[in-house]
């Protein structure tokens, strides 16, 4: 009996130790995830939350804790957190911004098996320095949005992916519509939407002329591509659109941008798939989503949307990777697409969606994204170059000398590249 107490105590201690060990073995390590879509009007935020919940329930190693930010403030919040050493494990990043964050040391390579991404749309994979840093669960695309009846009324050919409008054909069509006097403007480019819309939506037109924002062979100069003959031809065509009253300029009312096609102010609108469903609802089978015109170097649209990546300071990259791999399933792609109207990254997922399946109202956007999408310049300097390009286009639209405006933009871009020691290329 004398020895019973120590024995019991040792037994109890051993049981407690085993219980503690078991509890540690089943404790989930917390991973933080920052997401840009707080307040999303559509189902995106709810779906991201559902994705997190299902991942947490699917395994016993990790618990993802989500923190949502308004998109307007997201990039600044990430920059501030990086400065303060407070980055989360998993980051949500806009495709064209990713190279900057990778170069700045905010992110680390994803370390994901590339074979997993073999049949993904090109815009959904974020690469920098030969490594994959981010993957998107969706992409976006833009199209010339109009009505079949409008084109037929003016005898304008309906272009196809294989046979898009030529530049000349497109311009003639705009002039025909303008001369009818039936619309305030034949074309709505969305000039009221400043910011990333300009490089996203308009640099593909420049690329179709044969120019670009930056020389992608070196990413060290814009000379010759942003102010060469092709770019000047683009600039003159761009300016002509506004001088000839073919499109509203930078003073366009945002309200007109939102409703101008629907209320008959504009005949054709250069707009994204995110704005397509209201057009289908308003015009039904009369709605048309047409490919970008070909100005000589092939029709092009912008690619890449929001993607997931792993922060450079994450202490559990394997956990972050496990979460991202969990998200890369067709069922999630289809759920996001059905919920948000965005384009799923794989054809197999597209087939499971309401809008992008064969015969679906937005099927054409998958084809556009697959055939015409070109990612924006893959360089850390893009975020600066995008603003400079935006300024140059606005200036030209407002009547600035085309050559002077493009030369000035080239100078500004090259100054920035030099100031940043070539951005690591």
Partner 1 sequence: MAAVTGDNHGLRLATRYAVLVLVAIIFIFPLLFMAMSSLKPDQQLLNDTNSLRAFLPVGDLSLQNYWDAFDRAPIGVFVLNSVLVTATTVVFSLFVCSLAAFSFVFLNWKGRGLIFSILLATLIIPYETIFIPLLLMASQLPWIGAQGFEVGWLNTYRVQIIPFIADGLTIFLFVQYFRDLPKELIEASRVEGASWWQIYRKIVMPLAGPVLATAAILKFLFMYNQYLWPLMVVQEEAIRPVMVGLGYFTDQLNVPWGEVMAYLTLITVPVLAFYLMLQRAFIASIASTGVKG
Interface with partner 1 (CB under 8 A), residue from 71, 221, 245, 329: 71
Specify the residue, 275 or 409, whose C-beta has the smaller distance to partner 1.
275
Q: Which stretch binds partner 1 (CB under 8 A): 67-75, 203-211, 333-341, 381-389?
A: 67-75
Rounded CA separation 389/386 (Å) = 5
Specify the residue, 116 or 254, whose C-beta has the smaller distance to partner 1.
254
Interface with partner 1 (CB under 8 A), residue from 54, 67, 113, 152: 67
73-132 residues in contact with partner 1 (CB under 8 A) are: 73, 76-77, 80-81, 83-86
Considering the rule CB under 8 A, would residue 253 count as an interface residue with partner 1?
Answer: yes
Q: How many residues bind partner 1 (CB under 8 A)?
A: 34
Q: Which of 355, 320, 339 is nearest to 47 (CA)?
A: 339
Neighbours of 365 (CB within 10 A): 27
Considering the rule CB under 8 A, would residue 53 count as an interface residue with partner 1?
Answer: no
What is the dihedral sign for C-alpha 51, 53, 56, 57? negative
Q: Which of 77, 132, 161, 131 is nearest to 324 (CA)?
A: 132
Rounded CA separation 420/380 (Å) = 10
CB 332 within 8 A of CB 46: no
Exposure string over 59-78, b if 16+ CB within 10 A, otherwise e: eeebbbebebbebeebbeeb
Rounded CA separation 202/392 (Å) = 12
Considering the rule CB under 8 A, would residue 38 count as an interface residue with partner 1?
Answer: yes
Considering the rule CB under 8 A, would residue 264 count as an interface residue with partner 1?
Answer: no
Taking the CA of residue 316 as centre, how many other CA atoms within 13 Å lie in the half-sphere pointing to its CB?
Answer: 18
Specify the residue, 197 or 209, whose C-beta has the smaller distance to partner 1.
197
Minimum Å distance from CB 320 to partner 1?
17
150-179 residues in contact with partner 1 (CB under 8 A) are: none
Q: Which stretch binds partner 1 (CB under 8 A): 37-45, 95-103, 153-161, 415-423?
A: 37-45
Minimum Å distance from CB 91 to partner 1?
12
Specify the residue, 175 or 259, whose C-beta has the smaller distance to partner 1.
259
Interface with partner 1 (CB under 8 A), residue from 24, 41, 57, 118: 41
Show the binding pattern over residues 270-299: x = contacts partner 1 (CB under 8 A), - = does not: --x-xx------------------------
Specify the residue, 69 or 103, whose C-beta has the smaller distance to partner 1.
69
Considering the rule CB under 8 A, would residue 133 count as an interface residue with partner 1?
Answer: no
Specify the residue, 33 or 125, whose C-beta has the smaller distance to partner 1.
33
Residues in Cβ contact with 297 at an 8 Å cutoff, skipping those fewer than 6 apart: 207, 208, 209, 210, 230
Interface with partner 1 (CB under 8 A), residue from 31, 33, 40, 373: 40
Rounded CA separation 29/31 (Å) = 7
Q: Which stretch binds partner 1 (CB under 8 A): 6-14, 72-80, 223-231, 381-389?
A: 72-80
Specify the residue, 79 or 298, whose C-beta has the smaller distance to partner 1.
79
Interface with partner 1 (CB under 8 A), residue from 101, 120, 128, 197: 197
What stretches of 44-202 show up as alpha helix (H) in DSSP?
44-58, 71-84, 98-103, 148-153, 167-180, 197
Residues in Cβ contact with 252 at an 8 Å cutoff, skipping those fewer than 6 apart: 188, 190, 191, 192
Interface with partner 1 (CB under 8 A), residue from 169, 184, 196, 411: 196
User: Nearest 5 degrees, angle CA 412-CA 418-CA 419?
Assistant: 85
Interface with partner 1 (CB under 8 A), residue from 31, 34, 342, 410: 34
Residue 219 zone, left/alpha/beta (φ > 0; ψ -120 to 50; rest): left
Interface with partner 1 (CB under 8 A), residue from 20, 240, 254, 419: 254
Residue 275 zone, left/alpha/beta (φ > 0; ψ -120 to 50; rest): alpha
Specify the residue, 62 or 69, whose C-beta has the smaller distance to partner 1.
69
Residue numbers at the binding site for partner 1 (CB under 8 A): 34, 37-41, 67-73, 76-77, 80-81, 83-86, 193, 195-197, 253-255, 258-259, 263, 272, 274-275
């Amino acid at each position: 009996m004398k020895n019973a107490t120590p024995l019991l105590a040792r037994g109890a201690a051993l049981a407690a130790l085993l219980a503690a060990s078991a509890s540690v073995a089943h404790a989930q390590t917390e991973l933080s995830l920052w997401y840009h879509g707080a307040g999303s009007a559509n189902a995106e935020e709810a779906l991201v939350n559902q994705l997190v919940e299902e991942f947490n329930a699917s395994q016993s190693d990790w618990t993802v804790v989500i923190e949502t930010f308004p998109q307007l403030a997201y990039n600044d919040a990430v920059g501030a957190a990086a400065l303060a050493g407070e980055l989360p494990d998993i980051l949500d990043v806009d495709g064209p911004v990713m190279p900057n964050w990778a170069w700045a040391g905010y992110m680390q390579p994803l370390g994901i098996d590339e074979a997993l991404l073999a049949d993904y749309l090109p815009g959904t994979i974020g690469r920098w320095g030969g490594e994959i840093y981010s993957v998107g669960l969706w992409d976006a695309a833009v199209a010339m949005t109009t009505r079949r009846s409008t084109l037929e009324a003016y005898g304008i050919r309906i272009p196809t992916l294989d046979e898009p409008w030529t530049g000349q054909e497109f311009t003639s069509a705009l002039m025909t519509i303008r001369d009818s006097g039936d619309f305030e403007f034949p074309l709505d480019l969305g000039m009221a939407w400043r910011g990333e819309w300009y490089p996203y939506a308009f640099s593909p037109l420049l690329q179709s002329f044969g120019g670009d924002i930056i020389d992608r062979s070196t990413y060290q100069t814009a000379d010759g591509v942003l102010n060469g003959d092709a770019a000047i031809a683009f600039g003159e065509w761009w300016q002509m659109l506004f001088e000839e009253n073919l499109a509203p300029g930078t003073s366009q009312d945002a309200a007109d941008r939102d409703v101008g096609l629907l209320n008959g102010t504009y005949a054709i609108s250069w707009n994204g798939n995110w704005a397509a469903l209201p057009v289908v609802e308003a015009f039904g089978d009369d709605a048309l989503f047409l490919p970008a015109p070909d100005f000589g170097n092939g029709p092009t649209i912008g690619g890449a949307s929001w993607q997931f990546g792993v922060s450079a300071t994450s202490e559990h990259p394997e956990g972050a990777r496990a979460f991202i791999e969990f998200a890369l399933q067709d069922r999630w792609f289809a759920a996001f697409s059905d919920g948000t109207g965005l384009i799923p990254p794989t054809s197999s997922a597209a087939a499971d969606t309401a809008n992008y399946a064969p015969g679906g109202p937005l099927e054409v956007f998958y084809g556009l994204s697959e055939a015409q999408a070109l990612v924006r310049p893959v360089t850390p300097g893009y975020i600066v170059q995008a603003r400079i390009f935006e300024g140059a286009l606005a200036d030209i639209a407002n009547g600035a000398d085309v050559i002077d405006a493009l030369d000035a933009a080239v100078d500004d871009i090259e100054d920035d590249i030099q100031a940043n020691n070539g951005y690591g290329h």
